[in-house]
Structure 1
Amino acid sequence: MAGPTDQDKLSENWGLDAAGKSEEARAAEAAAEWAAMIEGVAGDGEDSGDRVLNQDEIDSLLGFDASVGSNVELTGVQALINSALVSYERLPMLEIVFDRLVRLTTTSLRNFTSDNVEVTLDSISSVRFGDYLNSIPLPAILSVIRAEEWENYGLLTVDSSLIYSMIDVLLGGRRVGGNIRVEGRPYTTIELALARRMIEVILDDTHRAFEPVTQVNFKLERMETNPRFAAISRPGNAAILIELRIEMDDRGGKIEILLPYATIEPIREQLLQMFMGEKFGRDPIWEGHLATEIYSADVEIEAVLHEQELPLSRVLNLKTGDMVMFERTPSDPVRLRCGDVELTEAIMGHIGNHVSVRVTRPLNPPKVTMAAFEELDDTVEGR
């Protein structure tokens, strides 16, 4: 244990004078040192506690920056606000399908208009359905299309500049440089009829574009000019937006195809393929070969007349001439079995010197379905 001399040495090392200062004096000096430190920190320019943020720092904190484009990643509070926006799930096969649609539409519209038509794929993005409806520039024609095999709907939007350009081309209008003046009047019956013909051509090309992936027919349900009447999904539902630009020399416009995720859900696995014909654990060629071999295989079928339980002592005591009575009549059905699987029922009879059976009802449905094999595949893959 340290003595008084040792305590003095420790006090000198720590800069304290144990003999000459009381506890109150030492506490006052410590408080003064803390006050000096706080004043020093407050005196430093940028680290001051009373410092006010400038406008650039406020904009950066909130995520607002007017000098950057709309496709730049958001930051700050603005990123939190927009965190509910959906991100585009990469569907490689969908991009291939619409690249194929661009080529098909280019040829079809050239034949349709007898003019030089160029179709380009602007973008494939993911949007909320309600946000898309609010962003459609009017006037425009919104076509509600039905995917019959998928039993769901989509939207095909044609902007006014493309409609007027297509009408000029089809009706022999003069080539006018610059943008076509968009009128605020409603579309006439002739304009709607010509627009319907163009939309049907595009829908037929869309059917052909999806043909390598799946068979689907797109039917034009109705044409609307008010987005409120073209609501095919809830505003918050996610959808994929495909933008196609159609140019005819110095005139043209844009077509937008909107497919809700619920619409393409039946073929989601096919759209996730990286290339055409990619296998997902099931080989249709092997399935067809297996089905053919099973169909031509020979199986042994048993006709079970009756089954009953006997004591083992009686079975051991059976002798020649003993009779075992079956509680059956000649008209009672017998069971046809293959191994342990009961197939159907039949009536016993004879043809000449041979015993025969006549099937009286259809085969029993199988208890094992393809779902059992799919679950087994998932279990094996999980390992």
Structure 2
Amino acid sequence: MSAENDDTDGAGLSEDWAAMLEAQEGDDGVDRVLNQDEIDNLFGFDASAAENVELSGVKALINSALVSYERLPMLEIAFDRLVRLATTTLRNFTSDNVEVALDSITSVRFGDYLNSIPLPAILSVIKAEEWDNFGLFTVDSNLIYSMIDVLLGGRRGSNVIRIEGRPYTTIELGLAQRMIEHILDDMHKAFEPLGQVTFKLDRMETNPRFAAISRPGNAAILVELRIDMDDRGGKIEILLPYATIEPIREQLLQMYMGEKFGRDPIWEGHLATEIYQADTEIHAILHELDLPISRVLKLEEGDTIMFDRGPSDPVTLKCGDVEITKAVMGHIGKNISVRVTRPLNPPKVTMAAFEAMDEKAEKIK
């Protein structure tokens, strides 16, 4: 009895599978291919949901090394300049209506980013020559095919057919390389106010394994640019490890372009003027004597305390607790006076102490 039930269940399951296959097949008999969103849902990956979840516990400790890009205000300004420059450059390059937009700037780990790149794609290793380090420039297949259609006279509104596993042709790689080089020139102009740097295309790869420019656990800045050409377009992703942008870290910390750090001569001159005009009290100390507390408590009216000082001995001039110089006491008419007998003592605190404090504060940050 159980064998018959198993055969019945197996036949029903086979019929269900056959019905599903017939439903998925089109009129031309081609099997339906899952798109990237359906694949992400199938594997339970939701990037938008992950961004809104606050990390806690072990995940928070693991990601504690990631520095939020909000702590580098000038970075967003530099890429805003890149968006404006790239829009003009790509319009001249394609002779078409091109719009470049900044999608997002996030902090990621290099290994996680390599594993999340949708293939096929062109991964370009770029070198920042003055910084002596590397970055990654990723162009997705939709943008490559759209750019080829625009440059070679393709029809508008045609759906992009992405063939999995097919390598890019020489023409596709050549046109993509020209587009990348144009955008790298714009990156040089965008970062020019922060520091002189030249971005050069080092090599182009299609396998993420050969585009490793940093350790998987290292933190990096990921910038996503969206390029729209009417009804076509795609994305460009620029990844810069924190080690790459370290030479201009102080410039990226500025709140506005040209902000000065450390010593400001205008502020120093104003402070010096106000200090010179400030009122201060100077005390002339004839002599200081240490006495036991027991003797001080027994002092009564008429007691005499002897100071081992003569009329011509110098007195000490003090401002607060700081000893300024020595002087000789005298009188002018009814007023008691002192005459300075030697130059002022040099200050013990110099600008080197303040610079050391600034360096210590930078290390703490």
TM over 0.5: yes
- The equivalent residue for 1:207 is 188
Deviation at 1:249, TM superposition (A): 0.4
- Whole-angstrom CA distance in 1 between matches of 2:265 and 2:160: 53
Task: Output aligned runs, 1:101-120, within 5 Å.
Answer: 101-120=82-101
Residue 216 in structure 1 maps to residue 194 in structure 2: no
- The equivalent residue for 1:92 is 73
Q: 2:52 aligns with which of 44, 63, 72?
A: 72
- The equivalent residue for 1:245 is 226
Deviation at 1:212, TM superposition (A): 1.0
Residue 194 in structure 1 maps to residue 172 in structure 2: no
- Whole-angstrom CA distance in 2 between matches of 1:83 and 1:214: 33
- Whole-angstrom CA distance in 1 between matches of 2:247 and 2:78: 16
Deviation at 1:174, TM superposition (A): 0.5
Q: 1:146 aligns with which of 127, 135, 138?
A: 127
Cα gap change, 1:275/1:224 in structure 2, threshold over 3 Å: closer, same or farther? same
- Whole-angstrom CA distance in 1 between matches of 2:258 and 2:237: 28
- Whole-angstrom CA distance in 2 between matches of 1:259 and 1:241: 7
Task: Output aligned runs, 1:224-263, within 5 Å.
Answer: 224-263=205-244
Q: Is the 8 A contact 2:219 2:242 kept in 1?
A: yes
Q: Deviations over 1:318-360 (max 9, x none)?
A: xxxxxxxxxxxxxxxxxxxxxxxxxxxxxxxxxxxxxxxxxxx
Task: Output aligned runs, 1:268-279, within 5 Å.
Answer: 268-279=249-260
Number of equivalenced pairs? 231
Q: Deviations over 1:273-300 (max 9, x none)?
A: 00000000245999xxxxxxxxxxxxxx
- Whole-angstrom CA distance in 1 between matches of 2:234 and 2:45: 30
SS of the residue corresponding to residue 113 of structure 2 reads helix
SS of the residue corresponding to residue 175 of structure 1 reads coil
Cα gap change, 1:108/1:281 in structure 2, threshold over 3 Å: closer, same or farther? same
SS of the residue corresponding to residue 164 of structure 1 reads helix
Q: Is the 8 A contact 2:122 2:138 kept in 1?
A: yes
- Whole-angstrom CA distance in 1 between matches of 2:45 and 2:125: 38
Deviation at 1:382, TM superposition (A): 7.7
- Which letter maps to 1:69? A
Larger radius of gyration: 1
SS of the residue corresponding to residue 247 of structure 1 reads strand
- The equivalent residue for 2:161 is 181
- Whole-angstrom CA distance in 2 between matches of 1:380 and 1:103: 37
Q: 1:281 aligns with which of 241, 258, 262?
A: 262
Residue 130 in structure 1 maps to residue 111 in structure 2: yes
Deviation at 1:270, TM superposition (A): 0.3
Cα gap change, 1:154/1:381 in structure 2, threshold over 3 Å: closer, same or farther? closer
Deviation at 1:225, TM superposition (A): 0.2
Cα gap change, 1:148/1:381 in structure 2, threshold over 3 Å: closer, same or farther? closer
Deviation at 1:379, TM superposition (A): 3.1
Q: Is the 8 A contact 2:262 2:358 kept in 1?
A: no
Deviation at 1:181, TM superposition (A): 1.9
- Which letter maps to 1:119? V
- Whole-angstrom CA distance in 2 between matches of 1:174 and 1:265: 45
Cα gap change, 1:380/1:121 in structure 2, threshold over 3 Å: closer, same or farther? closer
Cα gap change, 1:200/1:75 in structure 2, threshold over 3 Å: closer, same or farther? closer
- Whole-angstrom CA distance in 2 between matches of 1:379 and 1:70: 40
Deviation at 1:213, TM superposition (A): 1.1
Q: Is the 8 A contact 2:227 2:236 kept in 1?
A: yes
Task: Output aligned runs, 1:312-327, within 5 Å.
Answer: none
SS of the residue corresponding to residue 275 of structure 1 reads coil
Identity of aligned residues (%): 73
- What RMSD in Å do the two structures reach over aligned CA positions? 2.7
User: Which TM-score applies when normalising by structure 1?
Assistant: 0.56
User: Which TM-score applies when normalising by structure 2?
Assistant: 0.59
- Whole-angstrom CA distance in 2 between matches of 1:284 and 1:154: 37
Deviation at 1:377, TM superposition (A): 2.2
* Structure 2 spans left out of the alignment, 5+ residues: 1-43, 268-349
* Structure 1 spans left out of the alignment, 5+ residues: 1-63, 287-371
Cα gap change, 1:285/1:190 in structure 2, threshold over 3 Å: closer, same or farther? farther
- Whole-angstrom CA distance in 1 between matches of 2:55 and 2:103: 26
- Which letter maps to 2:61? S
Deviation at 1:183, TM superposition (A): 1.6
Deviation at 1:70, TM superposition (A): 2.3
Deviation at 1:81, TM superposition (A): 3.3
Deviation at 1:124, TM superposition (A): 0.4
